[in-house]
Structure 1
Amino acid sequence: MDGVDEETRAARAWFEGLRDRICAAFEAIERENGSDAVFGYTPWQRIDPSGVPGGGGTRGLMKGSVFEKVGVNVSTVGGTLEGDFARTIHGAGEDPRFTATGISLVAHMANPHAPAVHMNTRFLSTTKRWFGGGADLNPPLPYAADTADFHAALRRACDAHAPVGDYPRFSEWAEEYFFIPHRGVPRGAGGIFYDHLPADGDAFQPAFAFTRAVGEAFLAIYPEIVRRRLATPFTPEDERRMLAWRGRYAEFNLVHDRGTLFGLKTGGNIDAILMSLPPRAIWE
């Protein structure tokens, strides 16, 4: 794809490297539990509405005995945003040209006691340049210790990069964003969410360093939480609660999630965009 500058290439390389390490960590958990499940990778290409190549990405997907379904996607796209949608994107109201690169992960677990999770970080360039993303824990059957440890890891990442990393603000932002308004309930146990973190000029390196810290924090804490819960016995009622919770999760991602909308509006790969949907769910 033409027009990818040095900073976008640096962000893309980091996201791809993080993807590789996360996938290796998840595959290791599967092997520890007697499964030979591995990620399958499917590349995809995008055509910009102008008719020229508009980048693409790689969809990674694994279905195992611990991770019932986990997707880890990396994409780098660019071109021209269309019509009214361009005016909804930071810095694209007057000039609709853009580039975007990012990693997106969603894991749905086989054991209801092991929490599902979402993590996404991204770098976008319009007439403005910024990072965004975050991570949130989504347990069907919450454990206070898991929630506390997950938040503590993200707090440490924020505090190490203050004032760019602002845990109180980003944690509150996650509570507001990861909320299902038509149900009046939170999507999960929270985490952090941030967007439009300035990355123009000298602001790039501090914002990029913080975004890397978020990825490292996720990689350090989430496999630990999975290992502590994956062998917990569960009942049919526990599984029913998990499947009903997944229905709520799907509602949020289809109705309210900005990343889903951005992918659909910019001609992304449908399977990659909708990899966040659970493999099984019920509505009650």
Structure 2
Amino acid sequence: MEVRMEDQRRRAAHWFRELRDRITAAFEALEDRGPGDGPAGRFEITPTQRGEDGGGGLMSVMRGGRVFEKVGVNWSEVHGVLAPKAQAAMAARGVPGMDLDPRFWASGISLVAHMQNPLAPAVHMNTRMFWTPGAWWFGGGADLNPCIEYPEDTAHFHATLRAACDLHDSGDYDRFKAWADEYFFIPHRGRARGVGGIFYDDLNSGDWEADFAFTRAVGEAFLPAFLPLVEARMDLPFTEADRETQLIHRGLYAEYNLVYDRGTKFGLETGHNAEAVLMSLPPLAKWV
């Protein structure tokens, strides 16, 4: 059983890495078609490490491009022993055996894009697998964060994610959409972070292959859900008022990620590279 799980972990980590490669290539191709005469943006790739023997990953960040003001597409495969606070949080969530054995392994891809044009939506996506000696599960999702909403963009994004969910028994669009609406909510502002998407965690139906297939479908749906929206908006003229709206919206995004986001808390508490964990923060934001 342990040999089989090692193979499954290896397959998952490889797929997350391959998805990272495809997305970064697609984003650089979009940069080549972007507006303006400046140079097309390219990702700067930095290896990351969690301690001396806890694994690591690749931090891929593009700044100041034609289309993307800042975008990060990170991949990681880490392992080790959870800090007491993280272990207690896992145990409180009901992870089997976590109160007795704090070892863990995790791999995934995490993406956040902040756009040059305020009319093009920011976006977040991640998929991941987590293992402890007592359990394994998948998690992830994607959510759209426009500062100026176009209803047709929101409809396209959600329809693409729904289609991915509907093809798999492990997918439950209505439940995962409601989960995203609850999760990506800023209580101290009394409002959502964006226009939602899907979010799921602790996914273990007992059928690893089925749950992995669904998680791959979520990752595969990302580019068809997002790229058409950027292509439709990146060349549109915008005003200084639009830019002001974008910067204020980014302030809300930063507040959420620093105060509430589970992934940010886990990454910092488990000793992963802080720059990689915090790559989700926008390059510029404003509070009024």
TM-score range, shorter chain: over 0.9
Aligned-residue offset at 1:88: 1.1
Aligned-residue offset at 1:94: 2.4
Aligned-residue offset at 1:40: 1.1
AA at the equivalent of 2:184:
F
Alignment deviations for residues 181-240 of structure 1 (CA, whole Å, 9 cap, x no partner): 01000000000000000065xx11000000000011112221111100101111000000
Cα distance in 2 between the residues matched to 1:46 and 1:221: 32
Cα pair 1:199 1:205 within 8 Å, conserved:
no
Aligned to 2:23: 22
Aligned to 2:117: 111
Alignment deviations for residues 155-181 of structure 1 (CA, whole Å, 9 cap, x no partner): 00000002x100000000000000000
SS at match of 1:42: strand
Aligned-residue offset at 1:278: 0.2
Cα distance in 1 between the residues matched to 2:88 and 2:99: 4
SS at match of 1:88: helix
Cα distance in 1 between the residues matched to 2:220 and 2:88: 33
Alignment deviations for residues 15-55 of structure 1 (CA, whole Å, 9 cap, x no partner): 111101101111011101254211110001112xxxx6100
SS at match of 2:106: strand
Aligned-residue offset at 1:276: 0.2
- Mean Cα deviation higher: 168-177 or 191-200: 191-200
Match for residue 162 of structure 2 among 137, 145, 155:
155
AA at the equivalent of 2:242:
D
Cα distance in 1 between the residues matched to 2:111 and 2:11: 20
Alignment deviations for residues 234-268 of structure 1 (CA, whole Å, 9 cap, x no partner): 10000000000000000000000000000001000
Aligned to 2:201: 195
TM-score normalised per structure 2:
0.93
Aligned to 1:68: 69
Identical residues among aligned pairs (%): 57
Aligned to 1:226: 230
Cα distance in 2 between the residues matched to 1:131 and 1:74: 15
> Counterparts of 1:128-167 in structure 2 under 5 Å?
128-162=135-169, 164-167=170-173
Question: Structure 2: any 5+ residue segments left out of the alignment?
Answer: none
Aligned-residue offset at 1:132: 0.3
Aligned-residue offset at 1:82: 1.8
Aligned to 1:252: 256
> Counterparts of 1:39-50 in structure 2 under 5 Å?
39-47=43-51
Cα pair 1:129 1:199 within 8 Å, conserved:
no
Aligned-residue offset at 1:279: 0.3
> Counterparts of 1:50-129 in structure 2 under 5 Å?
53-63=53-63, 64-89=65-90, 90-91=95-96, 92-126=98-132, 127-129=134-136
TM-score normalised per structure 1:
0.94
Cα distance in 2 between the residues matched to 1:257 and 1:132: 14
Cα distance in 2 between the residues matched to 1:219 and 1:110: 18
Cα distance in 2 between the residues matched to 1:107 and 1:32: 17
Say if 2:216 is the partner of 1:215: no
Cα pair 1:131 1:199 within 8 Å, conserved:
no
> Counterparts of 1:165-204 in structure 2 under 5 Å?
165-198=171-204, 200=206, 203-204=207-208
Alignment deviations for residues 47-105 of structure 1 (CA, whole Å, 9 cap, x no partner): 2xxxx610001100112111000000000111111213202123423211100001000
Cα distance in 2 between the residues matched to 1:80 and 1:262: 12
The number of aligned residues is 275
AA at the equivalent of 1:144:
P
Match for residue 272 of structure 1 among 264, 273, 276:
276
Aligned-residue offset at 1:5: 1.4
Cα distance in 2 between the residues matched to 1:123 and 1:137: 22
Runs of 4+ in 1 over 3 A off after TM superposition: none
Task: Give the root-mean-square deviation of aligned CA atoms.
Answer: 1.3
